[in-house]
Amino acid sequence: MTNISSPTSGDTAADPLAAATSWMNAQQTVAIATVTRTWGSAPRPAGSQMAVRADGAFTGSVSGGCVEGSVIGEAQAALADGKVRNLKFGISNEDAWAVGLACGGTVEINVAPILLPLQRETLLELERARDAGRAVVLATDLATGESRNVFPNGDGADALTIAARVQARRDESGSVEADGKGWFLTVFNPPLDLAIIGAVHIAQPLARIATLADYAVRVIDPRTSFATSERFPGVKLSHAWPDEALAAAPLTSRSAIVALTHDPKLDDPALAAALKSPVFYIGALGSRSTHAKRLERLKAQGFTDAELARIHGPIGLNIGARSPAEIAIAILGEMTATLRKD
């Protein structure tokens, strides 16, 4: 798992930074432990975090249970003397087996006490950004513990912002060199968003598997007999026309949109809205001839060939998919390939 975005629902048991800010608001001191590098089958990826209070209470995980006890002790010591720790642990095969891995590995962990007002404000600002759905990268100087928030979608052109932009695009936390310092960049991206146009048969398995892939899924279809909670349990439904629904909840660079209705009255306005947005993926169901006619209609609206090339059609990876579930897998595979390409 490389996406280090955390839930913003306030579930502090699953969200170390939310817990840290809650504890700081209660005038308690906190240290943040962050996995900065791994080798082998380390139980937790780079960017995983744990918040530790001075009394030893903690939330989050940096090793799945293998070295948490040692990290808590080091965090308490860091809170006592105010000094950053950069720790390295070798996890034995026996310990790894206990947390469900076939073999062990090595992990490096940065432990930073959050004691100064500026450090506390940095974490509070980060929480506010996450609550607002903004992408933010926490940059930590591994030598000093200095940290700052970098906003990858801003206009900054300095080395640290450029590096943060690259890591955010990859959905991957990691170490970088910038401004003569070694930084660890912890990426906090907002959730991925999938807008499905058309509550058709293919949309049902696609909504399910996209949810499993951590997308916030919404199905848009003005036909109330199609978009029902019985057919799409637990999925956000909209009975507005696609252009109205997308205007009310705009698409972002973390969005994908899939048009499945075959009906130009529904698909075309959605595709036009998508082409005017920074979405990372646009897909439309239909044969090559259907897609060619679709492109002609959109070209008549003023879209250029370069803009229309953003639409994946026929939709999905060419895996010979036939059933609705197989087509849904092909679509999600193509979405993933588009999202993750450098």
pLDDT in tens, 168-185: 988 889 999 888 889 999
Q: Provide the pLDDT for residue 104.
A: 58
Residue 12 has pLDDT above 50, yes or no: no
Residue 95 has pLDDT above 50, yes or no: yes
Confidence band, pLDDT 50/70/90 cuts, at residue 142 = confident
Q: Provide the pLDDT for residue 294.
A: 96
Neighbours of 239 (CB within 10 A): 15
- The larger pLDDT score, comparing residue 258 to residue 178, is at 258
Q: What are the tokens at 297?
A: 């209609």
pLDDT over 90 for what percent of the chain?
69
Q: What are the tokens at 255?
A: 């969005």
Confidence band, pLDDT 50/70/90 cuts, at residue 98 = low
Q: Where are the domains of the chain?
A: 12-188, 192-340
Q: Which residues pair with 217 in a beta bridge?
A: 194
Q: What is the mean pLDDT of residues 151-169?
A: 88
Give the start-end residues of each E strand in 119-222: 136-141, 147-150, 174-178, 181-188, 192-197, 215-220
Condensed to tens digits (0 to 9), the pLDDT of residues 78-88 reads: 999 999 999 98
Q: Provide the pLDDT for residue 221.
A: 97
Residue closest to 49 by CA, chosen among 31, 38, 61: 61
Residue whose tokens read 């005017």: 276
pTM score, whole prediction: 0.75
Q: Provide the pLDDT for residue 97.
A: 53
Q: What is the mean pLDDT of residues 67-75?
A: 91
Distance CA 137, CA 126 (A): 8
Neighbours of 180 (CB within 10 A): 6
Residue 339 has pLDDT above 80, yes or no: yes
Residue closest to 227 by CA, chosen among 238, 216, 215, 241: 238
Q: What is the mean pLDDT of residues 115-122?
A: 88
Residue 99 has pLDDT above 70, yes or no: no
Q: What is the mean pLDDT of residues 260-287?
A: 96
Residue 4 has pLDDT above 50, yes or no: no
CB 150 within 8 A of CB 140: no
CB 100 within 8 A of CB 64: yes
Residue 275 has pLDDT above 90, yes or no: yes
Q: What are the tokens at 283?
A: 């897909």
Number of H helices and E strands in the chain, helices first, is 11, 15
Condensed to tens digits (0 to 9), the pLDDT of residues 216-252 reads: 999 999 999 999 999 999 999 999 999 999 999 999 9
CB 73 within 8 A of CB 64: no
Distance CA 187, CA 168 (A): 6
Residue 332 has pLDDT above 90, yes or no: yes
Q: Please list, in sequence order, all residues whose beta carbon lies within 8 angstroms of the beta carbon of residue 302, skipping any fewer than 6 positions away.
A: none
Q: Provide the pLDDT for residue 186.
A: 93
Give the start-end residues of each E strand in 198-331: 215-220, 236-238, 255-259, 281-284, 311-312
Residue 42 has pLDDT above 70, yes or no: no
Q: What is the mean pLDDT of residues 301-312?
A: 97
- The larger pLDDT score, comparing residue 146 to residue 323, is at 323
Q: Does domain 192-340 have CATH number 3.40.50.720?
A: yes
Q: What is the mean pLDDT of residues 261-270?
A: 95
Q: Provide the pLDDT for residue 1.
A: 30
- The larger pLDDT score, comparing residue 155 to residue 110, is at 110
Q: Provide the pLDDT for residue 199.
A: 97
Q: Provide the pLDDT for residue 92.
A: 65
Neighbours of 14 (CB within 10 A): 12
Integer angstrom CA distances of residue 33 from 47, 107, 237, 252, 264: 10, 12, 39, 31, 52
Residue 333's Cβ-count burial label (10 Å; 0-12, 13-18, 19+) is middle
Length of the chain: 342
Query: Kind of pairing, strands 192-197 and 255-259?
Result: parallel
Residue 14 has pLDDT above 80, yes or no: no
Residue 11 has pLDDT above 70, yes or no: no
